[in-house]
Amino acid sequence: MADNMKAQRDAYGEVLVELGKKYPNMFVLDADLTKSTKTVTFQKEFPKRHINCGIAEGNMMAVAAGISTCDNIVFASSFAMFAAGRAYEQIRNSICYPHNNVKVVATHAGLTVGEDGATHQCLEDLGLMRSIPGMVVLAPSDSGSTKAACRFAAEYDGPVYIRLGRLPLPCVNDEENYKFELGQADVVADGDFATVMFCGPFYSLAMEVRELFAKNGLNIRVVDVPCIKPMNQEVVKNAIYDTKAIVTIEDHNIYGGLGSAVAETIAELNISNRRPTELIRIGAEDKFGKSGSPKELLAAYGFTAEAIAKKIIAAVCPEFEGEFKF
């Protein structure tokens, strides 16, 4: 794992300029948050192709839809709470229903927004976007996968939702060479005891869980799942056949996001009767967020290696509970 850290929104600002040079028919819209979402970088480079729509997210999505009908690629950005929540109707009816070529990139998603509190900590956006027909839903894990997801979105003909966080994250994937495709899921470490599948800001946490089990002689498979819809069925199928449990970790409600997508895939595969496979969903357990530092909030909501390990042990091997070394 690389030692350097970088916020996904910084990578987003950089890749927008790269894509703006490649696609002269690309426009970027924002809702008066250009500095926070980093679309300001594109605005400085291509002022005639950037539109600040003001604090009117629904209108921004409608404008984006209209611009896209003239054979243009449009990226529209705001905080996840406003992009996915406030503008849901316009995304559904103006972008997805006519299958317009608009990419909704939502920053500041999840509990890691921190002190802004429950009103700004969107924990429902993956569920909202997954439910809309034709919407591709992505939740990259670092700056490299963020850039790759945006490059993919620019080439893809149709609506795409990309979820980004606020905090700097470890740079794991190469920003120039990492490739992204529909249904992306990367096995970053192999194992045969349990499979930990994560999206968004949890690479380090997933690897900490792996290290805990390694100390106890057990191998954890770790899978980065940047594409929530469509879900990679093969990765889930392999986890069922090869490991005793699947654990999903997401900065989102346990309903509607990665955990739900994996549960649905397991049901659709109809092979769980081969051998019981435990599914453990780590996320906000049907709760709203609170105000606090990201570190405090993640600990309070169970996003620690020890808390996750205890859930895995209780579900898969309760006989080890007294012997497991933390």
**Looking at the whole model, is its pTM more than 0.85?**
yes
Which tokens go with 244?
């005793």
Q: Are 27 and 74 in contact (CB under 8 A)?
A: yes
User: Is 87 strand, coil or helix?
Assistant: coil
Place of tokens 């996001």: 257
Of 182, 112, 148, nearest to 15 (Cα)?
148
Beta carbons within 8 Å of 304's beta carbon, 6+ residues apart: 205, 298
Angle, nearest 10°, between helix axes 258-269 and 233-242?
Answer: 70
**pLDDT given at position 1:** 45
pLDDT for position 131:
98
Residue 140 per-residue DSSP state:
-
Q: Quote the CA–CA distance of 73 and 133 in Å, as a whole number.
A: 20
Topology (CATH) of 186-320: Rossmann fold (3.40.50)
Helix pair angle (8-22, 143-155), 10° resolution:
30
Question: Known catalytic residues?
Answer: 57
- Judge residue 84's burial from the number of C-beta atoms within 10 Å of its C-beta, 0-12 exposed, 13-18 middle, 19 or more buried: buried
Widest CA span in the chain: 65
Rounded-to-integer distance, Cα 145 and Cα 172, Å: 9
130, 139 Cβ separation under 8 angstroms: no
Q: What CA–CA distance (Å, rounded) separates 302 from 148?
A: 30
Q: How do the domains of the chain map onto residue ranges? A: 8-170, 186-320
CATH topology of domain 8-170: Rossmann fold (3.40.50)
**Tokens 């980065």 belong to residue:** 224
User: Could you give the CA distance from residue 172 to residue 3 in angstroms, rounded to a whole number?
Assistant: 9
pLDDT of residue 317: 87
> Identical fold at 8-170 and 186-320?
yes
Taking Cα atoms as reference points, which of 257, 36, 31, 25 lies closest to residue 161? 257
The tokens describing 77, both together, are 């950005």
**pLDDT values of the chain reduced to their tens digit, one per residue, 326 residues:** 456 999 999 999 999 999 999 999 999 999 999 999 999 999 999 999 999 999 999 999 999 999 999 999 999 999 999 999 999 999 999 999 999 999 999 999 999 999 999 999 999 999 999 999 999 999 999 999 999 999 999 999 999 999 999 999 999 999 999 999 999 999 999 999 999 999 999 999 999 999 999 999 999 999 999 999 999 999 999 999 999 999 999 999 999 999 999 999 999 887 755 566 799 999 999 999 999 999 999 999 999 999 999 999 999 988 888 889 88
